[in-house]
Structure 1
Amino acid sequence: MRGFLIWVAAVLAMTAPAKAFDTTASAAWVYDVQTGTVLMEKNAETPLPPASMSKLMTLTMLFEALRDGRVSMDTTFPVSEKAWRMGGSKMFVEPADRPSVEDLIHGIIINSGNDACVVVAEGLAGTEEAFARQMNERAAQLGLTHTTLTNASGWPDPGHRMSMEDLGLLATYIITEFPDLYPNFAMTSFNYKGRVPSNAGNRNPLLSIGTGEWTADGLKTGHTQEAGYGLVGSAIQDGRRIIFVITGLTSDRARAEESERLVNWAFREFSMRTLVPAGEDVAQAPVWLGTVSRVGLTTQNGVNVLVPAGVQDQVKVEVVYDSPVPAPIARGDRLGQLVVTIPGTRDTVTPLIATQDVPEAGLVGRMKGAVMQLGQRAITAVTG
């Protein structure tokens, strides 16, 4: 027998329906970190040229090397002729230099240095080709299923591809796993040995926008002729963080305008709702052959969801479990799931766990339970 409970969330006031975001980007992905909700996606799983946005994978490899103790911020790397001769955006390292890991982090994030990326690749893996193989292996481990990388910088190559969803997931990983390093993404200027032109600072257009409502703090721009203008961005409002990825814009101005418009939409058109407070029982499930007849079902951390404006009275919550639940049961055992359905968004599924231990009943208890079950079946047969 399948046990379930359905109810509809009520609201006191109605607002205008949330407007779908019709982006001019060729591909996009928008994500709310706190609730794990994908707010919008457009061609999000399509592998596309990521340009310099793929530098996030190079930084991830460097951040993990720092975390694992393989390098420190003071570790220095040599500069090869290949790195020195890299074109495009540069940190302006020279063969005689020995930039530190800290310098290179700044050079990649702020100056978008293609030369700095090659220095890191060769410093960590010996060659850029070996580093690309390591990045692909790590990307697969991180669940980036639409990523294939051939170089460390995002230099145009037919085989160098990432989806917007993969870039967003990678940004989420960086933010959550490296909180001590993430503030580097909000830095706007870095001038290695006085060689960097004044116009080679951080190109993230949102870092200089102060709306008074939200604050942007990362992550990485990208631009090539093939890819167009793109941005992996993140912003916070009242403790709520969104991450977004866009690509295929026609100019840096279009990228700036679309990014700001998208962030405003993500914060204004969705409101946070607590459907299940942390620690609150969601249901009482019947127990089969246990020392008690019912066991509480709860969530690990409660359930918070984002609800688009205008559909608050259409939220459906379903508690699903196999009933009765056979004993023995250990506190924390996963016994079912809570499914939240909101129009216009993906369903949110949260595991339901037991609130207590329920030992198996003794012989007498099992006999009573068997008799009651047989009696219930008989009643069902007669009345059915």
Structure 2
Amino acid sequence: MRKMAIRFFSSVLVSSLIAPLALAAPTIVPDPPVLGAKGYILIDYNTGQVLVEKNAHQKLNPASLTKLMTAYVAGQEIRSGNISIDDQVVISENAWAKKFPDSSKMFIEVGTSVSMSDLYRGLIVQSGNDASVAIAEHVAGSQDSFVALMNSCAQRLGLENTAFTNPHGLDSDGLYSTPYDIAKLGQAIIRDLPDIYPLYSERSFKYNGITQYNRNGLLRDRSMNVDGMKTGFTSGAGYSLASSATNGDMRLISVVMGSNSTKSRESESKQLLSYGFRFFDTVSPNEANEEIATPRVWMGKEDQVSVGLAEDIFITLPKGQIRNLSANIEVPAELTAPIAQNEVIGTVVYSLDGKTVAEAELVALEDVEEGSLFKKALDWFKRLIASFF
């Protein structure tokens, strides 16, 4: 198939974004911070781009970061209608708080009825191992069946170096994940569970007369807008922290695994997030249904078709580099009617200094019906004349 390439420079293509940034000098991006944790990563939520990493794909003990998947599985079951956030859960002996001495719990008692809403807060805010078991049994009937759901979700999300053996994260043979996989899991929670994610920003929760405070100290740090996600600790795993924060429209996710103290996991996470916000921007050069180009159409009622993106696109760039962003649009040289709205008809490739940074499918933003016999004959004649030149 022959292609015609139409090049749009950033001054034309993303003029709405360039205006407020035109005078901003390009930023020299320094080397990222070097941290003491066993493994860590910083990604942009919208693009998934990795900004900083060390041992990001090394299998490590996730400890209570496991509860991110417990919450995700339960949230998906709520979305599908299999359970309800208003369900009352009768606590079994397996979920009894006394089964978890010297570990985090929400202090639920055997035979009591606890709302799913309270169990969720006990899981997320208090990191309750007892809440984890109660949720697992309510969702799947048993911990083993729930673990199967956890591992199935991990595969579906593309968490290639993750395996779960329990719903709470206490040390166990065969339990492992990576900073990269945990970051992707955090991304899925924010994207897929918008009604549940706000629970991760709650600083305390009171149950059974006991108030416990969220162990994520960054929620109380006024120097940045951290709104989640989860801490983790066991003697085998060390101290871990998955965090997400926003700065304007930009959201970053950091994961630190295997730090040596509560303070160090918070300090290291803050260093990662501060580095990302200081030296990078997330931009949206084109929004869904925004007209990008109007290529020629043959044999149609109209001579052109408006094309754009089916979904918003986001790109992570070093600060000040938006001015150097350009795009190449490729559509068939002989685009022929009929064309249906949302039909894929080409590609837009975004580049920075000659290097591809993102690409997306171009779709028709409108229908173009076949033209009349006279219009088709006229277009045929025009193409014949054009072929001579």
Matched, 1:95 2:96: no
**Kept in 1: contact 2:83–2:139 (CA 8 A):** no
Cα–Cα, structure 1 residues 30 and 337, in superposed 2: closer, same or farther, change >3 Å? Answer: farther
**Kept in 2: contact 1:66–1:73 (CA 8 A):** no
Matched, 1:329 2:343: no
Instruction: State the superposition RMSD in angstroms.
Output: 2.9
Residue 78 of structure 2: aligned partner: 66
Percent identity over paired residues: 32
Q: Which range moves more in the overlay, 216-225 or 341-350?
A: 341-350
Give CA-to-partner distance per residue, 1:187-231, whole Å, 9 cap, x none.
2223432457xxx632112111001xx311111111234433221
- The two structures have a TM-score, normalised by structure 1, of 0.85
Trace 1:200-349 onto structure 2 (pairs within 5 A): 201-211=213-223, 214-276=224-286, 279-300=289-310, 303-342=313-352, 347-349=357-359
Give CA-to-partner distance per residue, 1:233-287, whole Å, 9 cap, x none.
1112234322222223222221111111122222221235453366543222222
Cα–Cα, structure 1 residues 333 and 23, in superposed 2: closer, same or farther, change >3 Å? Answer: farther
Give ranges in structure 1 of 5+ residues lacking alignment.
Answer: 380-384
Supply the distance in 2 between the matched residues of 1:310 and 1:238 (Cα, whole angstroms). 16
Residue 19 of structure 1: aligned partner: 30
Secondary structure of the structure 1 residue equivalent to 2:161: coil
**Kept in 1: contact 2:337–2:368 (CA 8 A):** yes
Supply the distance in 1 between the matched residues of 2:75 and 2:354 (Cα, whole angstroms). 36
**What displacement does 1:96 show?**
4.5
Residue 123 of structure 1: aligned partner: 138
**What displacement does 1:52 show?**
0.7
What is the number of equivalent residue pairs in this alignment?
Answer: 374
Residue 17 of structure 2: aligned partner: none
**What displacement does 1:317 show?**
1.8
Secondary structure of the structure 1 residue equivalent to 2:137: helix
Cα–Cα, structure 1 residues 288 and 46, in superposed 2: closer, same or farther, change >3 Å? Answer: farther
Supply the distance in 2 between the matched residues of 1:195 and 1:302 (Cα, whole angstroms). 45
Matched, 1:189 2:204: yes
**Kept in 2: contact 1:17–1:310 (CA 8 A):** no
Secondary structure of the structure 2 residue equivalent to 1:285: coil
Matched, 1:85 2:99: yes
Instruction: Write out the 4+ residue segments of structure 1 that deviate beyond 6 Å after TM superposition.
Output: 343-346
**What displacement does 1:45 show?**
4.1
1:16 partner amino acid:
T
Matched, 1:52 2:53: no
Matched, 1:3 2:16: no
Supply the distance in 1 between the matched residues of 2:52 and 2:346 (Cα, whole angstroms). 28
Q: Which range moves more in the overlay, 9-18 or 256-265?
A: 9-18
